[in-house]
Amino acid sequence: MIGVVDYKAGNLKSVDSALSHLGAEFLISDKPEELLRCDKMIFPGVGEAKSAMEVLKSSGLGQAVREFALSGKPLLGICLGAQIVFDSSEERQTECLGIIPGKVKRFSSQMGLKVPHMGWNTIEHNNINLFKGVKQNSSFYFVHSYYIEAQSQGNIAASCEYGLNFTAAAVKDNILACQFHPEKSGEAGLQLLDNFLKLY
């Protein structure tokens, strides 16, 4: 059973649709004890880091995500969920969960690029199981104004270029994080989610 963390950060309908399409057994829950009983966790999220962290703290869901990560069971953070597993975010100077070492920084509009980074971009990945069957330079759908800078090269599972090179996906033991939206990235995204379901 996969637990999808519902902490009121954006819409879970697309994650719900993609998991249903793949035939996954899952539940969407805002109850820490229910989520901690699951075998895998998906930690999605769209929105702003500070208010998301406030909800995570007051609801006990942040603690549940941290506990789940420590338990060694597979966890996949998506978009804001991926950013929040890092140490901190420049978005309103937010202290995050600190599960993977690194920072979340804002794209500078001075680079002459439009912010948010919204649309399809290619990634280069390092062939971990999450990307099994996903070709190099496959396109994924991104929507974000802040990007992940993993502290250790060893935690970078995929990278992407948008004015600068940033961490598109990260891995640390049982913890996976992707900045893009696999649930909105067509067949490549479904492949990635299917890999998470079957290979972890």
Partner 1 sequence: MFQKRIVVCLDVKEGRCTKGIKFKDNIDVGDPVEMAAKYYRDGADELVFYDITASHEKRGIMIDVVRKVAEQIFIPFSVGGGISTLDDIKDVILAGAEKISVNSSAVKNPSIIEEGASLFGSQCIVLGMDAAADPSMPSGYRVFINGGRKAMDLDALAWAKQAEKLGAGEIVLNSIDADGMKTGYELNLTKMISESVGIPLVASGGAGVPSHLTDVFKKGSADAALIASMVHFGDYTVADIKKHLNRERIAVRM
Closest CA to 141 of 118, 164, 171, 170: 118
CA 101 to mean position of chain CA atoms: 14
Give the number of residues written for the chain: 200
Least CB distance to partner 1 at residue 181 (A)? 8
18 vs 35, which CB is nearer to partner 1? 18
Q: Which residues are catalytic?
A: 79, 181, 183
List the structure tokens of 110: 């001075």
Q: What are phi and psi of 128, to 5 degrees?
A: -65, 165
Given a contact cutoff of 8 angstroms between Cβ atoms, the answer to whether 174 and 167 are in contact is no
59 vs 121, which CB is nearer to partner 1? 121
- The CA distance from 108 to 170, in Å, is 22
Least CB distance to partner 1 at residue 54 (A)? 15
Residue 10 interacts with partner 1 (CB under 8 A): yes or no: yes
Which residues from 48-77 bind partner 1, rule CB under 8 A? Answer: 48
Least CB distance to partner 1 at residue 197 (A)? 15
- The CA distance from 44 to 10, in Å, is 9
11 vs 58, which CB is nearer to partner 1? 11
- By CB under 8 A, name the one of 134, 189, 194, 195 that touches partner 1: 189
Q: What are phi and psi of 123, to 5 degrees?
A: -125, 155
Contacts with partner 1 by CB under 8 A lie at 10-11, 13-14, 17-18, 20-21, 46-48, 109, 114-122, 137, 139, 141, 143, 161-162, 181, 183-187, 189-190
